Amino acid sequence: MDAQAVAENLEKAGTETALKIAPAGDAISDETFEYLVRQALDAVNGTMLFKMRLGNDDDGQHVAAASIGEGGSQQFLVLTLPVGGGRLRVETAAKSESPVARIAASYAGLAQAFATAA
């Protein structure tokens, strides 16, 4: 399955789970966002690289970078969810306009270098 198809499946599953946990309009905590991302990625053997919160209060959004696959087939995803609740958006880093997409591959390379050195 290619990264775009994985992104679409994760988006659908993640949005359904998010709506069950916190209906649209309810604030999503950092912990809840991490849970949603990890649960979705577990289904496709993906790995969360990092997460952060951008913006202020309820107008902000949760953002995570993830990887799927290994070696030459490794792909990166960007997952976003409004802090105020709503739809989980998943897109490939290659197609994303988010600044987070540009640092995902670099972060993954750095994490791999540290793991190898350890």
Report if pTM > 0.85.
Answer: no
What's residue 19's pLDDT? 47
SS3 assignment, position 91: strand
54 backbone dihedrals φ, ψ, rounded to 5°: -110, 140
Tens digit of each residue's pLDDT (9 = 90 or more) over 70-82: 888 888 999 999 8
Tens digit of each residue's pLDDT (9 = 90 or more) over 44-63: 899 999 999 998 876 899 99
Do the beta carbons of residue 64 and residue 78 sit within 8 Å? yes
Structure-derived torsion over alpha carbons of residues 97, 32, 59, 100, reported in degrees to the nearest 10: -20
The domains located in the chain, with CATH, are 3-117 (3.30.1300)
